[in-house]
């Protein structure tokens, strides 16, 4: 990830002085005054002469400065925050910056991957270095032009000054020359204490386009002659297409073709993110989305159960064969299997001390089991992708988190070299991990090649929700051994899931307890799973943080003080090796949330308060959740959040992100569930899949960041997991009932309401 501009050869990276704009629609970065004035400025600037200073920065002679955002945007606001990092070092007037989504070009623009709360982390150094290098090149160009020493030139907001001679000029005036200079290395970067752009809130650069409904999303893309394709997938996991009769469908207006399409060829070695649920596709192609949706209803299709299927996965860990089991699975049966499996011996992941003896000698043992169902991502924009594939090239456009991962897959499947595949990244209507999996990109490409036309593949909401790639089902059993004085002497977690285990063996409270054991198991399924906002952590934080709450109560301790004691131990005299977290930073968010929430302040006694904290993606999050009764049900009215993610690039946007994670967490904890009966998803739209709505969201979410100068760590995911635990703990205070199984609403004697 330490790929920086200065590491690239000048030829591949620097090239080119003058580029024509090519009729691109370019938006000005919406300065606050424009934004509040609500002006929609979209400028078509075809004639501009762009001098490429580095791959990320282009400047016209008129001093229009464009910064390319390298990473796919799915709502984490990288379109704004990544260019801010360039601007910080380039020394320009942010209000005049033009921001544009970059092309897919790993050589010029780095890894270009959105996921793992990684965007800011992986671009923190390269983008500031690019800004600093470009500024240095502009200074050098001015020095050569003016015949003065470069050291005597200063800059301010896009203008170069030479005080002695009184000369000054815009960056644009020397941009052509600067573009021909070598990119310098090792430029000193700004001190974190003196940042001018970073750490100062900037509005979303796409704000105006969003609120005026401009075509930003893959779903909005269209081009001359474009057809619409949809896929009729089997009604259940574990089934496949046998035969079909499309006679009636083909008679429907606007329908062009109905055909069978194989996705991956036999023996295809899947890359890690080539996950797909169905390989035999039944495709309907027509002129418009509605016509295709409507015509699908006339299909007569026969499906049959599949047998066990062998798949070859060639991921980073080497090639392995996976058997996908046959069967039409039901959630209640799966849950029973998990509970049964949890009693059997499991794989030991970590052991400190002698937990067996400690449990044998315990005065008290507390044991609790937690479960969670599959979850669907339910991005507001269903999966879709545009493709125009011919015999010798492919153009694909749409919402995807990982262009660098889908490109080799397309190359193999289409048998085209990578340089004949162009991937353009649309703004995504949500991602949450799901759009790291590219099956729908490949499907669109194959369909386009087959029908010899530009095609947009569209998933209906039902297609999207029932397709799979869900958050896995999980369970974990926690055990704690207390001695006669109620001291914690041993801790044991044994967890597993369908089809993956959630357990992070080296995270808190590992390192804080003398005798510790972590064990893990997995059960296979044909229901596909994938990354879902903070994978595994999103269950662990619910289970472990609920358990610690119950443990603190049994030990007669305050839940925050109890955690802080454990963290003190982990810091001063850590147990074992490989403890992943920094005990000080972990304690820091707990102390901050304790202070900001007025944890022990009697003024807050009307609330049932729950606390939880968690570490993931190198960041630390803690929440205090305040519950009251509303309409007879527990309702999260207020939340106080404390985050340590190092330097915060764009504070107001980061606050928005944490607030969103809190709402998302409450919704999934209370209502989230994708269940199956005989292989069929029991929820296929928002009628039956309950999503949190405004009236269920808190009235206030107060977000506080720990202030430090540590390089930025993750933010999109870390605040999400601990909200589950904090909600569970607050529900207990409110109702006297511990909730162990997600979604929590099941235990709250309510008739689950669908929708609103």
Q: Which of residues 293-352 bind another protein (CB under 8 A)?
A: 293-294
Give 394 or 662: the residue with its C-beta nearer to another protein: 662
* Span from 386-394, 403-411, 512-520, 655-663 in contact with another protein (CB under 8 A): 655-663
The phi and psi torsions of 633 (rounded to 5 degrees) equal -120, 150
Helix (H) or strand (E) holding 623: strand 619-630
Which of 500, 519, 644, 664 binds another protein (CB under 8 A)? It is 664
> Which residue's CB is nearer to another protein, number 470 or number 586?
470
State which residue, 310 or 695, has the beta carbon closest to another protein.
Answer: 695
| Stretch touching another protein by CB under 8 A, among 106-114, 267-275, 374-382, 728-736 | 374-382
Span 548-587, contacts to another protein by CB under 8 A = none
- DSSP character at residue 103: P
499 prior amide bond cis, ω within 30: yes
d(CA 76, CA 371): 29
Applying the rule CB under 8 A, the residues between 225 and 244 that interact with another protein are none
Q: How far apart are CA 65 and CA 59, in angstroms?
A: 5
d(CA 486, CA 509): 17
DSSP states along 179-220: HTSPPP--PPPPPGGG-SSTTS----TTHHHHHTT-S-BGGG
- The rounded radius of gyration (Å) of the Cα atoms in the chain is 28
Pick the binder of another protein from 355, 667, 712, 743 (CB under 8 A).
Answer: 667
List the one residue from 105, 157, 291, 580 that touches another protein (CB under 8 A).
Answer: 291
- Shortest reach from residue 86's CB to another protein, in Å: 20
Complex with another protein: residue 432 or 607, whichever CB lies closer: 432
We find the least distance from the C-beta atom of residue 141 to another protein, in angstroms, to be: 36
Rounded to 10 deg, the angle between the 537-554 and 559-572 helix axes is 110
| Contact characters 423-462, another protein, x per CB under 8 A | ----xxxxxx---------------------------xxx
Q: Which is nearer to another protein, 37 or 307 (CB)?
A: 37
Per DSSP (E only), the strands in 60-203 are: 65-69, 97-101, 153-156, 159-162, 167-170
Interface region with another protein, contact rule CB under 8 A, candidates 174-182, 282-290, 340-348, 506-514: 282-290
d(CA 2, CA 18): 28
Angle, CA of 693, 696 and 698, to the nearest 5°: 115
Residues 671-730 that bind another protein (CB under 8 A): 685-687, 691-695, 697-701
Binders of another protein among residues 125 to 154 (CB under 8 A) are none
Which residue stretch of 34-42, 138-146, 348-356, 672-680 sits at the interface with another protein (rule: CB under 8 A)?
34-42
What is the spatial distance between Cα 499 and Cα 503, in angstroms, rounded to a whole number?
13
- As a whole number of angstroms, the distance between CA 651 and CA 197 comes to 11
Return the closest-CA partner of residue 401 out of 386, 421, 383, 380: 383
Pick the binder of another protein from 229, 661, 728, 731 (CB under 8 A).
Answer: 661
Torsion of CA 436, 437, 441, 446, to 10 degrees: 160
Contact region with another protein (CB under 8 A), list: 111-119, 154-162, 212-220, 561-569: 212-220
Residue 29 binding another protein, by CB under 8 A: no
Rank residues 9 and 751 by Cβ distance to another protein and give the closer one.
Answer: 751
In sequence order, which ranges of 14-105 are alpha helices (DSSP H)?
A: 32-37, 78-90
Instruction: Give the residue among 381, 228, 321 at the shortest CA–CA distance from 524.
Output: 321
Contact residue for another protein among 149, 215, 272, 598 (CB under 8 A): 215
| Chosen residue from 528, 659, 729, 734 binding another protein by CB under 8 A | 659
Which position among 182, 253, 272, 408 is part of the footprint of another protein (CB under 8 A)? 253
Which of residues 43, 189, 211, 307 is near another protein by CB under 8 A?
Answer: 211
Residues numbered 59 to 88 that lie near another protein (CB under 8 A) are 74-77
Binding to another protein in span 518-547, by CB under 8 A: none
Nearer to another protein, 89 or 206 (CB): 206
Please give the DSSP secondary-structure letter assigned to residue 265.
Answer: P
How many residues bind another protein, per CB under 8 A? Answer: 74
Return the residue of 216, 283, 481, 543 that touches another protein, per CB under 8 A: 216
Question: Three-state SS for 746?
Answer: helix
Which residues are CB-neighbours of 266 under 8 A, at least 6 positions away? none
Work out which of 1, 20, 38, 272 binds another protein, going by CB under 8 A: 38
């Amino acid at each position: 990830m330490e790929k920086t501009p200065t590491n690239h050869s000048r030829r591949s990276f620097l090239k080119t002085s003058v580029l024509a704009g090519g009729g691109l629609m370019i938006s000005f970065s919406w300065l606050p005054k424009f934004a509040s004035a609500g002006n929609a400025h979209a400028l078509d600037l075809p004639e501009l002469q762009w001098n490429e200073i580095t791959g990320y920065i282009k400047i016209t002679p008129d001093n229009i400065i464009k910064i390319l955002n390298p990473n796919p945007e799915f709502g984490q606001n990288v379109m704004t925050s990544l260019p801010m990092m360039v601007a910080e070092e380039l020394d320009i007037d942010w209000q005049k910056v033009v921001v544009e989504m970059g092309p897919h070009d790993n050589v010029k623009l780095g890894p270009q991957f959105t996921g793992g709360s990684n965007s800011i982390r992986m671009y923190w150094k390269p983008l500031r270095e690019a800004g600093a290098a470009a500024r240095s090149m502009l200074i050098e160009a001015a020095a050569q032009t003016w015949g003065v020493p470069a050291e005597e030139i200063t800059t301010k907001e896009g203008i170069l000054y030479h005080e002695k001679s009184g000369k000054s000029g815009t960056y644009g005036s020397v941009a052509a020359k600067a573009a021909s200079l070598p990119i310098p290395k090792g430029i000193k970067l700004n001190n974190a204490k003196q940042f001018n752009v970073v750490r100062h809130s900037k509005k979303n650069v796409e704000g105006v386009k969003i609120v005026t409904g401009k075509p930003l999303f893959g779903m909005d893309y269209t081009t001359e002659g474009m057809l619409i394709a949809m896929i009729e997938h089997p009604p259940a996991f574990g089934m496949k297409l046998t035969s079909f009769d499309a006679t009636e469908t083909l008679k429907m207006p606007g329908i062009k073709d109905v055909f069978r399409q194989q996705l991956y060829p036999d023996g295809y070695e899947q890359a890690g993110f080539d996950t797909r649920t169905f390989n035999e596709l039944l495709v309907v192609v027509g002129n418009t989305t509605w016509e295709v949706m409507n015509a699908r209803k006339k299909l007569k299709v026969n499906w049959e159960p599949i047998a066990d299927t062998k798949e070859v996965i060639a991921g980073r860990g080497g090639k392995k064969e996976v058997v996908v089991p046959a069967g039409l699975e039901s959630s209640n049966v799966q849950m029973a299997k998990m509970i049964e499996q949890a009693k059997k011996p499991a794989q030991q992941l970590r052991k400190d001390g002698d937990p067996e003896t400690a449990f044998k000698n315990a005065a008290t043992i507390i044991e609790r089991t937690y479960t969670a169902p599959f979850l669907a991502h339910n991005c507001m924009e269903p999966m879709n992708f545009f493709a125009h594939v011919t015999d010798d090239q492919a153009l694909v456009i749409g919402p995807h988190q990982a262009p660098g991962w889908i490109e080799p897959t397309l190359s193999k499947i289409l048998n085209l070299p990578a340089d004949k595949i162009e991937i353009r990244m649309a703004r995504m209507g949500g991602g949450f991990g799901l759009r790291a999996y590219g099956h729908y990109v490949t499907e669109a490409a194959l369909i386009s090649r087959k029908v010899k036309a530009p095609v947009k593949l569209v998933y209906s909401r039902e297609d999207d929700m029932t397709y799979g790639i869900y958050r896995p089902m999980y369970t974990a059993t926690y055990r704690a051994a207390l001695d006669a004085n109620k001291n914690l002497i041993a801790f044991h977690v044994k967890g597993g899931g369908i089809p993956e285990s959630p357990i992070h063996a080296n995270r808190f409270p590992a390192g804080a307890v003398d005798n510790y054991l972590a064990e893990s198991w997995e059960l296979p399924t044909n229901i596909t799973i994938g990354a879902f906002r903070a994978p595994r952590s999103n269950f662990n934080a619910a289970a472990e943080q609920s358990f610690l709450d119950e443990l603190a109560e049994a030990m007669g301790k305050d839940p925050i003080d109890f955690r802080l004691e454990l963290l003190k131990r982990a810091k001063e005299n850590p147990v074992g090796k490989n403890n992943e977290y920094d005990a000080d930073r972990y304690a820091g968010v707990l102390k901050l949330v304790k202070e900001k929430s007025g944890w022990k302040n009697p003024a807050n006694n009307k609330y049932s308060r729950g606390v939880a904290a968690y570490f993931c993606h190198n960041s630390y999050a803690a929440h205090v959740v305040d519950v009251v009764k509303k309409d007879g049900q527990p309702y999260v009215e207020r939340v106080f959040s404390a985050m340590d993610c190092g330097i915060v690039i764009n504070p107001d946007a980061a606050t928005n992100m944490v607030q969103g994670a809190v709402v998302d967490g409450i919704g999934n904890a209370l209502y989230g569930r994708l269940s199956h009966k005989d292989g069929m998803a029991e929820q296929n739209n928002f009628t039956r899949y309950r999503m949190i709505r405004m009236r269920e969201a808190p009235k206030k979410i107060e977000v506080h960041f720990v202030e430090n100068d540590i390089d930025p760590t993750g933010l999109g995911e870390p605040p999400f997991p601990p909200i589950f635990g904090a909600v569970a703990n607050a529900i207990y205070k409110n109702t006297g009932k511990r909730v162990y199984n997600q979604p929590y609403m099941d235990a709250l004697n309510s008739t689950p309401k669908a929708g609103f």
